[in-house]
Amino acid sequence: MVETIVLDVDAIRLARPGVDVAAEYHAREAAGRGEALDESDLCDDVRPALSKLRGLGVRVAVAGNQTSRVGDLLRDLDLPVDLIVTSGDWGVAKPQPEFFQRVLEVAQAAPERTVHVGDHPANDVFPARAAGLRVAHRGHCWGPFCALGELVDGGDGHGGARQ
């Protein structure tokens, strides 16, 4: 069983006031229950969709609310992407506007020419739109990869054609 934790420090501290999140994280690693990620965690269409996007000349970045360790694990998968960054790398997380600004900066992309694919309305859809990005919302599968095949094939990420 693969266990991956997403550190939402504010939520953790609401549940356990005063908790030392870093110490808990390290204790979990020491107990052999740390983060793990491999090819089996990806949807079947991830590599073909990412490859097709790159083949079309689209710059592809993976950015999400994950730890730096998950970023390293994703980079180890050698996905056909230009960039992989995490909130753990930056110290700023979605839905904060700074997260989306950092994505645009490192991707060297204009917001109106950027599509953010995400699964959470409050963390992805609304703040990405507020930052001026186009949005594809998917509520299933794993994180940022869910709508890629549909987007590559001309969909809007909601089962319909792009406007």
Residues 62 and 82 sit within 8 Å (Cβ to Cβ): no
Chain centroid, CA 18 distance in Å: 28
12 exposed, middle or buried (CB, 10 Å; 0-12, 13-18, 19+)? middle
* Residue that wins the pLDDT comparison between 61 and 28: 61
Per-residue confidence (pLDDT) for residue 9, from 0 to 100: 61
Quote the CA–CA distance of 25 and 20 in Å, as a whole number.
9
* Residue that wins the pLDDT comparison between 140 and 107: 107
Per-residue confidence (pLDDT) for residue 15, from 0 to 100: 78
Q: Could you give the 3-state DSSP secondary structure of residue 137?
A: strand
Q: What percent of the chain has a predicted confidence (pLDDT) above 90?
A: 44
What the block records as the tokens of 146 is 């869910």
pTM higher than the cut 0.75: no
Q: What digits encode the pLDDT tens for the residues 94-138?
A: 999 999 999 999 999 999 999 998 888 898 999 999 999 999 887
Per-residue confidence (pLDDT) for residue 18, from 0 to 100: 87
Per-residue confidence (pLDDT) for residue 36, from 0 to 100: 87
Cis ω for the linkage preceding 95 (within 30 of 0): yes
Q: What is the DSSP letter of 143?
A: G
Question: Over 90: is that where the pLDDT of 44 sits?
Answer: no
Sign, CA dihedral 38-61-158-4, equals positive
Question: Over 50: is that where the pLDDT of 159 sits?
Answer: no
Per-residue confidence (pLDDT) for residue 45, from 0 to 100: 84
Per-residue confidence (pLDDT) for residue 149, from 0 to 100: 44
